[in-house]
């Protein structure tokens, strides 16, 4: 089932028609963080230290990398982002015209007939469906992030729409945007979608750590946006079963969370500097 199928796809907005300059900006937005995130930065500084025979730089860099790899560091960094917007229960959310669920919820496409391959951020999908079922909005909108470079698979939004209909959601109330490449594209697609229907109030569903960057972009659309954060990673130390493990290096809870938080901060700074 494609995003254009059914009456719910009237809000399709395709953001692929970028100028060469806009394509370059998008490429830089994806490329530059590689060199300033812990792994890339450590490689650069260690190689520089070895070439210059600056042992102090090598050991200092490796020490900083160890700190970045500790869960206590990762949880602290990601927790700062997650605390910006308050956590809401479904029934506490205000009524809106549309619930927008951002992409990033699905992994590699599954063959036809198999269950969807959900990613870590599946809570975004669950949150959107729960808000629709609770009557918090008349429409549910998924963003059409591509799932393959050659377009051989339907967009992520189309797959989520199909899954939402399978949960009992009415097809005529579930829409999908056209192709989007980043958060700025999603904001432009939402603005066009709402302008076509006269919508003003939006419930935005995305991961709590992504919400600060997302809200910065979506507020530019001139709409009344309410954050509905999900997919929390940090939590309180006393809620974790083995808190002493926070002081041992971890690729996921330590380095992964640290890099994720830094990437979000770089994204906010990039959009602020470029105005995009």
> Do 257 and 120 contact (CB within 8 A), yes or no?
no
User: What per-residue confidence (pLDDT) applies to 273?
Assistant: 78
- Residue 266 has what pLDDT? 87
Q: Indicate if the pLDDT at residue 149 is higher than 70.
A: no
Radius of gyration, CA atoms only, the chain: 20
Distance CA 179, CA 177 (A): 7
Judge contact between 144 and 176, C-beta under 8 A. Answer: yes
According to the model, what pLDDT value does residue 211 have?
97
Q: What is the pLDDT of residue 93?
A: 97
**Of residues 206, 200, 170, 201, the one with CA closest to residue 186:** 206
For tokens 């729409």, the residue is 161
Q: What is the pTM of this model?
A: 0.84
Which tokens belong to 231? 């997919």
pLDDT digits (tens, 9 = 90+) for 6-61: 334 443 444 445 555 555 555 566 666 677 789 999 999 999 999 999 999 999 99
Nearest residue to 156 (alpha-carbon basis) of 125, 190, 198: 125
255-275 mean pLDDT: 87
Average pLDDT, whole number, for the chain? 86
Distance CA 55, CA 169 (A): 61
What is the rounded CA–CA span in Å between residue 216 and residue 60?
A: 35
Contacts of 253 (CB under 8 A, 6+ apart): 71, 74, 75, 246
Judged on CB neighbours under 10 Å (0-12, 13-18, 19+), 236 is: exposed
Distance CA 258, CA 48 (A): 23
- pLDDT-derived band of residue 226, with 50, 70 and 90 as boundaries? very high
CATH class of 86-230: alpha beta
Q: What is the CA 63 to chain-centroid distance, rounded? A: 30
Domains of the chain: which residue ranges?
A: 23-82+241-274, 86-230
Look at residue 148 and tell me whether its pLDDT is greater than 90: no
């Amino acid at each position: 089932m494609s995003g254009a199928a059914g009456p719910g796809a009237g809000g399709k907005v395709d953001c692929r028609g970028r100028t060469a300059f806009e394509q370059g900006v998008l490429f830089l937005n994806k490329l530059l963080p590689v060199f300033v995130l812990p792994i890339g930065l450590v490689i650069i500084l260690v190689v520089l230290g070895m070439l210059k025979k600056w042992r102090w730089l090598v050991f200092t860099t490796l020490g900083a990398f160890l700190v970045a790899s500790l869960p206590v560091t990762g949880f602290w960094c990601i927790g700062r982002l997650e605390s910006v917007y308050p956590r809401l229960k479904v029934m506490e959310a205000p009524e809106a015209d549309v619930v927008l669920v951002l992409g990033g919820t699905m992994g590699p496409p599954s063959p036809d007939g198999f269950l969807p391959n959900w990613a870590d951020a599946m809570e975004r999908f669950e949150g959107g469906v729960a808000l629709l079922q609770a009557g918090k909005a008349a429409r549910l909108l998924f963003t059409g992030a591509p799932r393959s470079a050659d377009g051989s698979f339907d967009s992520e939004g189309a797959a989520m729409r199909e899954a939402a209909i399978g949960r009992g959601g009415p097809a005529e109330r579930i829409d999908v945007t056209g192709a989007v490449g980043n958060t700025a594209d999603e904001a432009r697609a939402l603005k066009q979608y709402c302008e076509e229907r006269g919508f003003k109030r939006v419930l935005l569903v995305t991961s709590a750590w992504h919400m600060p960057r997302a809200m910065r972009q979506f507020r530019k659309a001139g709409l009344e946006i309410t954050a509905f954060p999900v997919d929390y990673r940090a939590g309180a130390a006393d809620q974790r079963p083995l808190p002493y493990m926070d002081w041992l290096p971890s690729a996921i809870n330590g380095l992964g969370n640290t890099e994720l938080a830094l990437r979000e901060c770089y994204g906010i700074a990039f959009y602020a500097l470029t105005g995009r």
